[in-house]
Amino acid sequence: MDCGQCWDCSTNEKCITKQDILSIYKSANLEEAIKKFDILNINDEANILGGKIFNKVYEARKGLFYDILHYDTIISTNLHGVYPNGKTLFRFIKGAIPKENRKKYKDIIKPIAKAKTKNRGQATGPCQVEKFPKNAVALCNRKGEVYTDGKDRYSVHYKDKEGKIIGRCQSNIVRSGVAGYFDAVAGMPCRQVGWSRDNLSKHDTLSELARDIESNHKNYEEESYLYHKEQANLNPSYLFKDSIYSTMTLNYDFRTACHTDYGDLDNGLSTLTIFEELEDNYTGLYLGLPEYKIAFDLRDGDTLIFNAHEFHANTEGEPLTDKLPIDDLTGKNFCGRMSVVCYLRDKIKNCPNEPFTGKLKRGKQVLNQQ
């Protein structure tokens, strides 16, 4: 039997699939379901019988950082969390990515994720001049008027040491990159992103990762999977090959401020998968849902399937060794935490049948689509 689809594979003869349990439960044979539950040694009955209910207990604010003390519960193992109506809030899957596949994925993800970017907006927190380029001396509007009102802003212009106004809005600098496909945003066409266009063989390897993630999506959240598949098939030219996902956001040691994801599939679930450059080299950087006061200690190869339209943020993180270099953005050693947000963009379905694959400059097409 393929133990990859089993709830517990401690002994092959007791390997029972999720479908076996659910079929018994749906037949109202609760006693038999509980017997199988006991065999599987699953401590949380809610994982079988519909999920553990979580209620919203706090009103979160966008752009804020929530540290570990905000949270009441840290989840570090398999758990299915649901809303009071039974719909999925999250699904934690421990060791979702096969260990033998992780290194090849890390080798490709690391350089993309470590690249600096200045366009992550609200997720980077309120703009601070010290988190802008080194030549920045003041944050201002497009006219050069320096902000002095103390209001939080997430995308601004800045003045450099020579008094020049930098004309393009930006946010705090973080380490993050993108692979796959995008719909039309910010004056740019529906397209294959530059990294994927220029690294086709590596893009294909990330397609393998997308399929590994999809396998868990299908096994654990079948209803969501079928909805994603239906929507993905409306424009399959914009997908990682043979998967239901269009896009990956790849981050390195990025502590996000409180935000909701924008542009992903309406009424869909997103996925977050963690890879570690060095295993067990850091503590913290939990992904939290501050309105539910729960956070997730995701480690190497773990995947979280969750509703990214809920407010979410990361706690602080600390390296445990000096084995990795100093990060010039933080002044501390790198933790080595790589996060992969793999999802389907909602408006891909409205794009032309084939993505633009030429080069772009300042939002304009330089090469025609042919």
* Structure tokens belonging to residue 77: 């193992």
Q: Which of 339, 321, 348, 58 is nearest to 190 (CA)?
A: 348
Q: Give the whole-angstrom CA distance, residue 153 versus residue 63.
A: 9
Q: Tell me the three state secondary structure of residue 72.
A: coil
Helices (H), the chain: 18-26, 30-40, 99-114, 194-198, 200-220, 222-232
DSSP state string for 136-182: EEEEE-TT-PBP-S----SSEEEEETT-PEEEEEE---EEEEEEEEE
Q: Which of 123, 102, 113, 124 is nearest to 299 (CA)?
A: 102
Going from the C-alpha of 317 to that of each of 117, 126, 130, 271, 341, the distances in angstroms are: 20, 19, 19, 21, 19
- Backbone φ and ψ for 131, nearest 5 degrees, come out as -105, 15
Per-residue pLDDT of the chain (370 residues; tens, 9 = 90+): 333 333 333 434 344 444 554 554 444 444 454 444 443 333 444 444 568 999 999 999 999 999 999 999 999 999 999 999 999 999 999 999 999 999 999 999 999 999 999 999 999 999 999 999 999 999 999 999 999 999 999 999 999 999 999 878 999 999 999 999 999 988 899 999 999 999 999 999 999 999 999 999 999 999 999 999 999 999 999 999 999 999 999 999 999 999 999 899 999 999 999 999 999 999 999 999 999 999 999 999 999 999 999 999 999 999 999 999 999 999 999 999 999 999 999 999 999 999 998 887 654 333 322 2
Q: b vs e for 299-316, b when ≥16 Cβ sit within 10 Å of the residue's Cβ?
A: bbbbbbbbbbbbbbbbbe
Q: Give the whole-angstrom CA distance, residue 268 versus residue 264.
A: 8
Dihedral of the alpha carbons of 103, 105, 106, 111, in degrees to the nearest 10:
140
Q: Give the whole-angstrom CA distance, residue 17 versus residue 350.
A: 38
Q: Give the whole-angstrom CA distance, residue 156 versus residue 129.
A: 10
**What structural domains does the chain harbor?**
3-48 (no CATH), 68-117+176-365 (3.60.130.30), 126-170 (no CATH)
pLDDT of residue 167: 79
Residue 48 backbone zone (phi > 0: left; psi -120 to 50: alpha; other: beta)? alpha
Q: Under a CB-based contact definition with an 8 Å cutoff, are residues 47 and 78 in contact?
A: yes
Q: Which of 97, 118, 120 is nearest to 276 (CA)?
A: 97
Q: Identify residue 170 by its one-letter amino acid code.
A: Q
pLDDT of residue 67: 94
First-last CA distance in the chain: 48
pLDDT of residue 113: 98
Q: Give the whole-angstrom CA distance, residue 102 versus residue 21.
A: 30
Q: Give the whole-angstrom CA distance, residue 231 versus residue 346.
A: 8
Going from the C-alpha of 113 to that of each of 26, 30, 62, 150, 196, the distances in angstroms are: 43, 47, 24, 32, 13
